[in-house]
Amino acid sequence: MNEAWQAFPDHVRLSIRLTPNAGRDAIDGFETGADGETYLKARVTAVPEKGKANKALIALLAKTLRIPKSSFSFISGDTARKKILRIDGDPEDLTGKLNAMPKA
């Protein structure tokens, strides 16, 4: 199991480190920070104001994981670089898709 996410009966919680204002929208894979915490690195071209970067992040993840944008909600970190997202759906299906993502 990857420590960047936790599976629950009806959803998965995913830790993310988002870089807004980047040159392109991309998922950079999973990384373990200096604090030992594992998270998914993502970057978006959107600016971090009025939730634009968060919307771009959800659009990027929805497209990458092929699930609807409505499946995503923020548990914490709406205004921080480190975020925890709730992804509603079948945890087995979601963890399979997350496992298929590139490793940093």
Could you give the number of structural domains in the chain? 1
Asked whether residue 103 is assigned to any structural domain, the reply reads no
For residues 7 and 81, give the distance between their C-alpha atoms in angstroms, rounded to a whole number: 22
pLDDT digits (tens, 9 = 90+) for 39-76: 999 999 999 999 999 999 999 999 999 999 999 999 99
Asked whether residue 53 is assigned to any structural domain, the reply reads yes
Residue 17 belongs to domain with CATH number? 3.30.1200.10
Give, rounded to a whole angstrom, the gap between the first and last alpha carbons of the chain. Answer: 16
The pLDDT of residue 100: 87
Task: Examine the pLDDT at 1 and tell me if it is beyond 80.
Answer: no
Label residues 33-67 b or e (16+ Cβ within 10 Å = b).
eeeeeebbbbbbebebeeeebbebbbebbbebbeb
2 — pLDDT class (breaks 50, 70, 90): low
pTM, two decimals, is 0.93
Asked whether residue 23 is assigned to any structural domain, the reply reads yes
103 — pLDDT class (breaks 50, 70, 90): low
Provide the CA 47 distance to its chain's centre, in angstroms: 17
For residues 42 and 77, give the distance between their C-alpha atoms in angstroms, rounded to a whole number: 14
